[in-house]
Amino acid sequence: MVKEKRYIDLHCHTTCSDGEQTVSEVIDAAYKQGMKAIALTDHNCFAIYEPRREKDMSIIPGCEFSVKYTAKNGKNKEIHIIGLFFDGADPALNSLFEGIDKLAYVKAILRQLEDLGMHITLEEIRNRFPDAEHIGRQQIAALLVSKGYAKDITDAFDSWIGNFSPYYLDPIDFVTYVPMEKCVRAITEANGLAILAHPFHYRMNDDEVEELIRDFRRISDGPMGIEVYYWKYIQKNMRLVKYLEEKAVKYDLLPSAASDRHHADLPFVEGDPLLLENMIKAMAEEKRKKDGLV
């Protein structure tokens, strides 16, 4: 029996990037869990460009943009920015993806795994995921599990390829991304809402995370967001959620709820619909200001 629809999840992936399910399959799974609204936010591409309603749910177009962030210490890092487009996404935003060749990063990971005694080829990944339009670490993790190198996806990331594994390779060393400022401004100019994704995923301590949040907030005076109710943080470390709640208030950022769901066996985060309502209200007010109605 399907639950009453009352939840939101504003960060989900499909086979348009490195998700395991197609757009239709993700929507069906969301309906079965009892979602009110979801956002499709594939990596550096759009699964859909226009908002739609299916199965009495709101389906919001979005994207997870990879960008370059330069910290005060001069070190560059890959950071992810979610862009949500409640009134539709402008295809011109695809220009932000020009020059991104993620295969260079994938090949670097596979070379390192080979050196560690784990043999996985690009051909194997493509054969295992023929519908995937982009190849990334999620597919590599699945192969690590199926070939017995890891017990599950979490172990694959924690032990071999994740941001906090001993063998982590930073994509910024292999891939060229646009600066964070350029991406956020492009999202804002396209009437989208820029949201800082999973702030504790970048091998930063609390002070460095706050520096990132502060630098992100300084880019625009308008509405901006931050992923506070992130599924992994909720499951594993509520201290991070509390910390991000405080920073959202301190820097006037709209809190978001996100599963970052890639796999069919993972649940959607059950976010409060009020979070989405606040975003839509803030964006409508911002539009009124731009139109000189306030």
Q: What would be the CATH architecture of the domain defined by 103-172? A: Orthogonal Bundle (1.10)
Residue 3 confidence (pLDDT) above 70: no
CATH topology identical between 7-99+176-290 and 103-172: no
Residue with tokens 């941001």: 163
Q: 231 — alpha (psi -120 to 50), left (phi > 0) or beta?
A: alpha
pLDDT at 69: 97
Averaged pLDDT for residues 252-265? 96
Averaged pLDDT for residues 27-31? 97
User: What are 80-104's pLDDT values in tens digits?
Assistant: 999 999 999 999 999 999 888 888 9
Averaged pLDDT for residues 10-30? 95
Domain ranges of the chain: 7-99+176-290, 103-172
Structure token pair of residue 212: 């990132």
Helices (H), the chain: 23-33, 103-115, 122-128, 137-146, 153-156, 180-189, 206-217, 231-236, 238-250, 273-290
Give 1's pLDDT tier (boundaries 50, 70, 90): very low
pLDDT at 222: 96
User: 7-99+176-290: what fold?
Assistant: TIM Barrel (3.20.20)
Q: Is 290 exposed, middle or buried (0-12, 13-18, 19+ CB in 10 A)?
A: exposed
Please check whether residue 234 is in contact with residue 271, taking contact to mean a CB–CB distance below 8 angstroms: no
Averaged pLDDT for residues 33-60? 97
What percentage of the chain has pLDDT greater than the value 90?
A: 85
Residue 253 confidence (pLDDT) above 60: yes
